[in-house]
Amino acid sequence: MDLANKVAIITGAGGGMGGEVIRKFLEKGAKVSAVDINVDAIAELEEKYPEHLLVTKADLTDEGSVNAVVQKTVDTYQKVDILLNVAGMAQSAKNIEDVSLKEWEQIMAINSTAVFLTSKAVVPFMKEKNEGSIINVASVSVDRPRPGLNAYVASKGATISFTKALAIELAPYNIRVNAINPGPADTKMLAEFVPAGGDEGDVKENTFLKSVPLGRLITPEDIANCAIYLSSDLAEIITGSVVNVDGGRGI
Ligand SMILES: NC(=O)c1ccc[n+]([C@@H]2O[C@H](COP(=O)([O-])OP(=O)(O)OC[C@H]3O[C@@H](n4cnc5c(N)ncnc54)[C@H](O)[C@@H]3O)[C@@H](O)[C@H]2O)c1
């Protein structure tokens, strides 16, 4: 699964999954345009891959910033083959009565609207080449919701519906659109799902870990492996699919 000569825009670069996905894409030979509001975590990769890594600090909920990142990527690497939307935010579990409109809108903005904005910006460049792969990281919680994650689950459900809608719209242009549903993953985000005042360690061990039939939390590497496959030519006939990378949590 060689990604040499492929150009990938990867969001969520500063996070647990995004950082590892970028590392693996670089190892496979891709040129990567990495985006996040916080890019500190990938500073060492910038030094290691000066020719293959372009890092931009940007808010993905802002249309102008998203358009500028995509244009900068094309100016630098001449094309975009892959868009991988990893950025997102969690929701601390709470009853619907306690969810403010502001919190709902913030979660929707990064988990759903940013996926619309990045897709809208890259599609013209992909149509030009009659080729492309868009991968959106959603969540297995859409199939197996936990109480109190109302806004989060809704935002990821919208992303899955959007993935399928774009897959059918863009198939005539040979642009594939797929989603990955991670199960509970061992990143800093996992603790952010715990209700205020909850015991993070206990919830991780006794709720999240125990919910995975294969018996371990999902790693960023598991997500990276799936993203590489979906990006590669081996997946050339796969579009509109939602792949659970979840150790069986979605069963
Ligand atoms: N960790 C889990 O258990 C889990 C499970 C299912 C799905 N997911 C999804 O996987 C993806 C990656 O999660 P992670 O575990 O790496 O989380 P993380 O918190 O480590 O990373 C998320 C990244 O998104 C970035 N981000 C948030 N808002 C942004 C904005 N407005 N503009 C630019 N960047 C922004 C953050 O700065 C952060 O670096 C997310 O979409 C998440 O919803 C995670």
**pLDDT tens-digit series, residues 40-64:** 999 899 999 999 999 999 999 999 9
Q: Counting atoms of ligand 1 from 1, which one is nearest the CA of 59?
A: 32
Mutation choice for ligand 1 from 20, 106, 187, CB with most ligand atoms inside 8 A: 187
Reported confidence tier of residue 204, pLDDT bands at 50, 70, 90: confident
Q: Which residues line ligand 1 (CB under 6 A)?
A: 12, 14-18, 36-38, 59-61, 86-89, 110, 137, 139, 182, 184-185, 187-190
Q: Is residue 242 within a helix (H) or strand (E), and if so which, with residue range?
A: strand 242-245
- Map out the domains of the chain with their CATH numbers: 7-185+219-244 (3.40.50.720)
Reported confidence tier of residue 184, pLDDT bands at 50, 70, 90: very high
Three-class DSSP category at 199: coil
Q: Give the distance (Å) from ligand 1 centre to CA of residue 236.
A: 27
Q: Give the distance (Å) from ligand 1 centre to CA of residue 38.
A: 11
- Under 8 Å between Cβ of 91 and 141: no
Residue type, 181: N
Q: Is residue 136 within a helix (H) or strand (E), and if so which, with residue range?
A: strand 132-137
State mean pLDDT over 16-20.
96
Residue type, 98: D
Rounded Cα distance between 119 and 45, Å, is 25
Q: What is the pLDDT of residue 203?
A: 86
Q: What is the pLDDT of residue 175?
A: 98
Q: What is the pLDDT of residue 12?
A: 98
